Amino acid sequence: MTVTDYFFSLLHMIELLKVSDPVTLHILSDVLESKQILFRVENAGMNALMPLPTVMDARVLVAEEDLVAAKLIVHDLGLDK
């Protein structure tokens, strides 16, 4: 993957799931990183500032080309329930 492709992928990311639990977020991030899946987390830590369920959950976004692999990981971790 070239540098241009990498930055283009960052622009075209799809929401994988929303997470309110910081431990779950950390585990998911570690697994995605270990599998070299391009991802980004938005609103991480915002739940601590506004501890209302589903209001400020962290959003895990993945590159479009990694979406299928990322969904399999979410399923394997039991987070798709």
Mean pLDDT confidence for 54-80: 91
User: What is the domain range of residue 44?
Assistant: 3-76
Rounded Cα gap, residues 6 and 52, in angstroms: 35
State the CATH number of the domain containing residue 10: 3.30.70.790
- How many structural domains comprise the chain? 1
How confident is the model over 7-27, as pLDDT tens digits?
Answer: 666 668 999 999 988 899 999
Which secondary structure element, helix H or strand E, spans residue 15, and what is its range?
Answer: strand 13-19
* Residue 28 covered by a domain: yes
Listing from the earlier edge strand, what are the strands of the sheet with 58-63? 13-19, 58-63, 39-42
* Residue 49 covered by a domain: yes
pLDDT of residue 50: 60
Rounded Cα gap, residues 26 and 29, in angstroms: 5
Mean pLDDT confidence for 24-46: 91
* Residue 30 covered by a domain: yes
Q: Which residue has the tokens 């590159």?
A: 63
Q: Tell me: pLDDT of 77 over 80.
A: yes
* Residue 81 covered by a domain: no
Three-state secondary structure along 43-61?
CCCHHHHCCCCCCCCEEEE
pLDDT band (50, 70, 90) for residue 57: confident
